[in-house]
Amino acid sequence: MSKAPPERAFEALTEKISRERGVSCGSYKDKCLKRRIAVRMRARGVHTYEDYGALLDRDAHEYQELLDALTINVTKFFRNVETWNALRPYLDVLARRRPSLRVWSAGCASGEEPYTIAVLLAEAGAQGLIDATDVDRLSLERTRQAKYPDAAFSEMPVNLRRRYFRDGQPQSPVRELVQVRAHDLTREPPPHLQYDLIVCRNVVIYFERQAQERLFQVFVDALAPGGVLLLGKVETLFGPARDRLTLVDPRERIYVKPGGQ
């Protein structure tokens, strides 16, 4: 039996993954999908998309390994510290205006980002709750365990690490601010409405333009008036959502939703 052309075989494989595991492969850029599927194919010594599809049929564990590879994200506490320094004044303003803040860390990876935000809230003297969401079960488990190696703190100010962490783990009140949730950005509505801050860094870049545009609309709708959206440095808001937010820091990709005094 002749093999399908590589592009058709790739399309058939991603359709199969989407159908059988509920992952919106169509939302991801093909280049990203191919690169991360190739990692798993090499790990299992498989050379064609058809053969890898057959492997998935007989090895359910490989599906989970693949999903982990598709959602992998490298991060640290206070990664790009200048970004967090730029965000602090906006958090201070929100903390003065509102008795309690609601924050969404969308695509939280292994938890360094939401705990970084929790430190900033604690420094601002703010009460609140941070929804730390991801589609990947390993990322969520690591966020819940919240036990980090020294390398994760390489960009974090030493005084803040001493104040809020012990033995690589966040302490009260930082830990209590973070609520870990399973959530698929491509398929599910926001966990909450009227967020004061939404942080989604270096996640949207992996999606196709149509999926990006839809996500930006979701974020804008979920922001309270006066709320803040923080994207990754290489990400730019576009589509209808761009007209509904004000870009207040072009370098650090900080946007504010008009209204809310």
Residue with tokens 């730390």: 132
With cut-offs at 50, 70 and 90, classify the pLDDT of residue 214. very high
pLDDT for 28: 76
With 0-12 / 13-18 / 19 or more C-beta atoms within 10 angstroms meaning exposed / middle / buried, residue 261 is exposed
> Which amino acid type is present at position 141?
E
Query: Mean pLDDT over residues 59-70, rounded?
Result: 81
Which class is 6-70 in CATH? mainly alpha
Residue 72 has pLDDT above 80, yes or no: no
Mean pLDDT score of the chain: 90
Residue 54 has pLDDT above 80, yes or no: yes
Q: Which fold has domain 81-256?
A: Rossmann fold (3.40.50)
Model confidence, pTM? 0.78
Sign of CA dihedral 164, 84, 28, 240: positive
Query: Mean pLDDT over residues 49-59, rounded?
Result: 92
pLDDT tens per residue across span 134-160: 988 888 999 999 999 998 999 999 999
Domains of the chain by residue range: 6-70, 81-256
pLDDT for 64: 78
